[in-house]
Amino acid sequence: MELLKKLYKIYSPSGKEWAMTKFIWDYIKRIPGAKLETDKIGNLYITKGDAESYPCIVAHLDQVQRLHSKDFTAIETEEIIFGYSSRNKRQEGLGADDKNGIWIALKCLEKYKTLKLAFFVSEEKGCVGSAKAVIDFFTDCRFIIEPDRKGEQDIITEISRTSLCSPDFLKATGHEEFGYKETDGMMTDILALKDKGLGISCVNISCGYYEPHTDHEFTVKEDIMGCLRLVEHIIENCTETYPHLAEIQGRRRGIYDEFDEAVDEIFALLDQEDIWSVEDLYYMYHSVFPDLKMEDYQRIYTEYYNLYSMKEYGEQKL
């Protein structure tokens, strides 16, 4: 876990990812056969080895947390890792979304002779980096895995009514043997790549972080290790190219799609603890749902507590 804790120590808010970029740049230099390139916006592209086709892992460099004290420490217990400032006596977010994905990518780069990685800037601001990615980098990739999902069991095969992978690839992953279940997800880099015409199968998978976008974020060590084991299994067993063109039939776009997704995400957060204000919700999620305004967050907040009051009233009557 030492590499993971080093990544957590680096503060990389959206638009200011240079410290993480420098760390990865220096890290890659020590890996024989690995070549790193960048583009004008700051995305990183790594190729290791010489092959006709490559497995590929992508992740994003940025995080959303605003609290990151100079004495920030990643505290490791037997089961979890969380961030803490002794001076301020408070818990602070790790940025595990998506430093867990970066960790998995770097661990695989160390292990395998041939591999491609891409790290994108400003995903949390609306997939800014991946929307401007050099798409030709992926033309000789067999598939793309993005470890950028909370929890420990989701394999995302559809986002916003856009299909991400072929049935053949999903079956070949063997995800069920690792306790993963197919589901749909929220906006992340692989959807932006699909929008640019990417013609291979992609999935986003849970990588062991919980309570993302909050200062109470934590990682379950066994769950991130489970993600690494699944990624390694896919790399070692999915040796064919898995073509796939996005199916966008019936896809919804715009504010109504974002509002529905925001309701699900914010209701789940409010179910955990009654400590969030409308302003807190706006700060945490405005980069994830950029089309929503403050009044939309007020509406979601009000709807949640109206439903809570109705439920409480019903229980009292019973």
Predicted confidence (pLDDT) at residue 81 exceeds the cutoff of 50 = yes
Check pLDDT > 80 for residue 29. Answer: yes
Residue 186 has pLDDT above 90, yes or no: no
Q: From residue 145, how far is each of 32, 165, 239, 266 by CA, in Å? A: 23, 11, 14, 26
Q: What is the mean pLDDT of the chain?
A: 89
Q: What is the pTM of this model?
A: 0.79
pLDDT (mean) for 203-216 = 94
> pLDDT tens for residues 264-314?
778 877 877 667 888 888 877 777 777 788 888 887 888 777 765 544 434
Return the pLDDT at 316.
Answer: 44
Confidence at residue 247, expressed as pLDDT on a 0 to 100 scale: 58
Quote the crossing angle between the two packed helices 2-9 and 18-29, to the nearest 10°: 150
Residues 166 and 142: their CA atoms lie apart, in Å, by 12
Q: Return the higher-pLDDT residue of 104 and 306.
A: 104
Question: Which 3-state string (H, E, C) describes 213-247?
Answer: CCCCCEEEHHHHHHHHHHHHHHHHHCCCCCECCCC
